[in-house]
């Protein structure tokens, strides 16, 4: 019983360093006291992007109240992310009423950079990406759930940002996280990868799809691979999971063993799908494939599912 | 790389036998042709409960169209569950406009029994519970999402029941599945179990909680155990997953190794929480504990997480 399958998995968005203290969220006075605290820090989100202070080579995404006020933060939409060490200062995510263009024009030291680019570039301190994943998912949920899905009336944020309540029908709504099965299918010394059209040219990746109501993770793995590639999968092993804030997925990474090898590709989902030998996959990983084929960057759990299989004895 | 950790896990709601053919759902003509097909079968849901034909000792939950028509099925709210062997007949879930009381009074051979009771009693053929989980989750989602959460306008079911579209703002909405971390925490020869007030008297179970935005499964396990019991968890292993249609959770079962043993219980969540030796847990499993303490029934993944630990060498 151990974490062994995950050793070396170093993808983005895990390792959020905050202590959430979710057990206190229902206490509105507690929440308000922390929001007014002098040590409170604010992750200011503008059009879905964090405001970053790039002065003096720093990349700071947590700001004190005065900058938030200058940038027209919407205080009533503050979401409590948690508390950070060493001083237990509360950290909030807040949307801004100003535009990216306006902010970047007014402040030479401020940039608004999208979360995916920050993850690809790997420039933020460890853990900050996890915090950004949390903030992005929550603020996106609030922005797209201002109305009650039961009755259509406007709802109101409660519980420090972890619930919306409908004053009209009494409905309670919680942030959503969509579980996705993502899997490397193997057949001995070969693995199965596909190319959805959205990937950059030459990149092949693991198959993936949303887990549907009434499925186990393992059943979702087998269904997705059958639908996308026509390949039967037998044994399935869980490997690792990754929050994926585009907008709010939980990637559940697995390895599946093929029980058939003939591919019948779903042409609406994929533009190519084939078996790759371990040697060919290693060449893709090391960016020396003769046809220029590649795997996704280390940002993604797909990279690590492929890499850990290639590098296994 | 194998399924070993799951061998012997025989909980409810897994093993849905239908082929979903999700790749065709966008084709409205295809959907309509199957809905009108003579071999179509209907899972008729009344106030959230399936209508069961109990004549001649059978327990049939899939009915032909004439019974659906008699029971006032709301055809426009039909959701396609998938296709069943051996004749590839399409199976739909449909809500009814009549009440349970009315139906049971009018038909001596029909009973409406809630899904949890059916699972506890274990009376349905294998796989039917998985199908019920899928139907319950989807119909509950439609019933609570008739309005667009972005703009408050009424939305319409599309994609065979796997999407709702808003004609007013263009928003697309998908069924939700809420991932839950459920974990047996162990400290050598002891395991940690708690008693939320909702459990039957004397029953102790694994701790559990919803996975939040921006968390990995492993991070959620550690946070939940810290919040509910004040115990530090180190290594976490995935064991199995279970669809849990109350209303639409995906239970992700893990084992976590304790790195501290002192318990600080959250009294708002639990009314008791303590360590149990393997012998004591075995006595609970075998229903011979001197104080009458028990673990949950085999219906739940909690039972199997506890049982597989107790019975391990
Ligand atoms: Zn409402
Ligand atoms: Zn809308």
Interface test with A, best of B155, B211, B216 (most A CBs within 10 A): B216
User: Per residue in B202-261, pLDDT tens?
Assistant: 999 999 999 999 999 999 999 999 999 999 999 999 999 999 999 999 999 999 999 999
Which band of pLDDT confidence, cut at 50, 70 and 90, is reported for residue B14?
confident
Q: How near does any CA of chain A get to the CA of B275, in Å?
A: 19
Chain A residues 93-152 within an 8 A CB cutoff of chain B = 130-131, 133-138, 141, 144-152
d(CA B81, CA B136): 11
- pLDDT score recorded for residue A123: 83
Q: How near does any CA of chain B get to the CA of A269, in Å?
A: 9
Q: What CATH number labels B22-143? A: 3.90.79
A:B CB pairs within 8 Å = 194
Would the pLDDT of B4 be above 60? no
- pLDDT score recorded for residue B289: 97
Which single residue is written with the structure tokens 């139907």? B135
**Residue-range domain boundaries for chain B:** 22-143, 177-310
User: Is the CB of residue A17 less than 8 Å from the CB of residue A127?
Assistant: yes
Ligand nearest to the CA of A165: 1
Q: How near does any CA of chain B get to the CA of A221, in Å?
A: 12
| B51 token code pair | 């209508």
Average pLDDT over residues B255-273: 97
- pLDDT score recorded for residue A85: 85
DSSP for A115-129 reads HHHHHHHT-SPTTHH
User: Per residue in A77-112, pLDDT tens?
Assistant: 999 999 998 888 999 999 999 999 999 999 999 999
Average pLDDT over residues A184-198: 97
- Note the Cα B260 to chain centre separation in Å: 32
Pairing state between β A89-95 and A41-46: parallel
B273-297 CB burial, b ≥16 within 10 A, e <16: bebbebebbbbbbeeebeeebbbbe
Collapsing DSSP states into helix, strand and coil, what is residue A228?
A: helix
User: Per residue in B120-179, pLDDT tens?
Assistant: 888 887 788 989 999 999 999 999 999 999 999 999 999 999 999 999 999 999 999 999
User: Per residue in A198-236, pLDDT tens?
Assistant: 999 999 999 999 999 999 999 999 999 999 999 999 999
Residue from the list A137, A148, A186 with its beta carbon closest to the beta carbon of B147: A148
Q: How near does any CA of chain B get to the CA of A291, in Å?
A: 31
d(CA B251, CA A149): 24
The highest-level CATH class for domain B177-310 is alpha beta
Hey, are the CB atoms on B242 and A216 less than 8 Å from each other? yes
Would the pLDDT of B7 be above 60? no
Would the pLDDT of A156 be above 70? yes
B22-143 and B177-310: identical CATH topology: yes
d(CA A41, ligand 1 centre) in Å? 33
d(CA A237, CA A226): 17
Return the minimum-mean-pLDDT range out of A223-227, A269-273, A296-300.
A296-300
**Regarding predicted confidence, which is higher, B119 or A180?**
A180
User: Per residue in B186-213, pLDDT tens?
Assistant: 999 999 999 999 999 999 999 999 999 9
- pLDDT score recorded for residue A8: 57
d(CA A75, CA A27): 17
Would the pLDDT of B1 be above 70? no
Would the pLDDT of A5 be above 50? no
Burial class of A31 by CB neighbour count within 10 A (0 to 12, 13 to 18, 19+): buried
d(CA A91, CA B125): 51
- pLDDT score recorded for residue B313: 67
User: Per residue in B40-94, pLDDT tens?
Assistant: 999 999 999 999 999 988 889 999 999 999 999 999 999 999 999 888 899 999 9
Residue from the list B153, B218, B243 with its beta carbon closest to the beta carbon of A152: B153
Burial class of A79 by CB neighbour count within 10 A (0 to 12, 13 to 18, 19+): buried
Contacts of B13 in chain A (CB under 8 A): 214
Which band of pLDDT confidence, cut at 50, 70 and 90, is reported for residue A127?
confident
Q: Which residue of A has its CA nearest to B247?
A: A213
Hey, are the CB atoms on B149 and A149 less than 8 Å from each other? yes
Hey, are the CB atoms on B20 and A223 less than 8 Å from each other? yes
CB atoms inside a 10 Å sphere around CB A101 = 11
ipTM summary value: 0.94
Collapsing DSSP states into helix, strand and coil, what is residue A237?
A: strand
- Note the Cα B290 to chain centre separation in Å: 32
Contacts of B255 in chain A (CB under 8 A): 1
Would the pLDDT of A312 be above 90? no
Would the pLDDT of B28 be above 60? yes
Q: Is the dihedral of CA B259, A312, A250, A74 positive or negative?
A: positive
- Note the Cα A295 to chain centre separation in Å: 19
- pLDDT score recorded for residue A6: 45
CB atoms inside a 10 Å sphere around CB A170 = 10
Query: What radius of gyration do chain A's Cα atoms show?
Result: 22
- pLDDT score recorded for residue B8: 56
Ligand nearest to the CA of A147: 1
Asked if A238 reaches chain B (Cβ–Cβ under 8 Å), the answer is yes
Residue from the list B150, B151, B213 with its beta carbon closest to the beta carbon of A248: B213
């Amino acid at each position: 019983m151990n974490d062994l399958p995950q050793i070396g998995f170093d993808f983005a968005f895990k390792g959020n360093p905050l202590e959430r203290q979710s057990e206190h969220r229902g206490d509105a006075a507690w929440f308000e006291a922390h929001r007014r605290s002098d040590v409170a820090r604010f992750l200011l989100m503008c059009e879905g992007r964090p405001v970053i202070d790039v002065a003096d080579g720093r990349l700071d995404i947590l700001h004190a109240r005065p900058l938030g006020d200058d940038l027209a933060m919407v205080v009533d939409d503050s979401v409590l992310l948690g508390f950070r060490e060493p001083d237990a200062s509360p950290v909030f995510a807040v949307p801004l009423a100003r535009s990216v263009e306006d902010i970047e024009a007014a402040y030479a030291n401020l940039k608004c950079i999208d979360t995916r680019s920050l993850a690809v570039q790997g420039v933020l301190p460890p853990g900050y990406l996890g915090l950004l994943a949390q903030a992005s998912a929550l603020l996106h949920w609030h922005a797209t759930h201002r109305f009650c899905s039961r009755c259509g009336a406007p709802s109101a944020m409660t519980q420090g940002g972890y619930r919306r309540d409908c004053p009209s029908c009494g409905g309670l709504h919680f942030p959503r996280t969509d579980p996705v099965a993502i899997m490397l299918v193997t057949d001995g010394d070969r693995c199965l990868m596909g190319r959805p059209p959205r990937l950059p040219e030459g990149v092949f990746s693991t198959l993936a799809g949303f887990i549907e109501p009434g499925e186990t993770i393992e059943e979702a793995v087998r269904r997705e691979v059958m639908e996308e590639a026509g390949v039967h999968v037998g044994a399935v092993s869980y490997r690792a999971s990754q929050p994926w804030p585009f907008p709010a997925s939980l990637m559940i990474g697995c390895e599946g063993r093929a029980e058939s090898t003939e591919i019948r590709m779903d042409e609406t989902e994929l533009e190519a799908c084939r078996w790759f030998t371990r040697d060919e996959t290693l060449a893709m990983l090391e960016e020396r494939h003769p046809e220029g084929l590649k795997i996704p960057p280390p940002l993604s759990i797909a990279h690590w599912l492929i890499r850990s299989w290639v590098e296994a004895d």
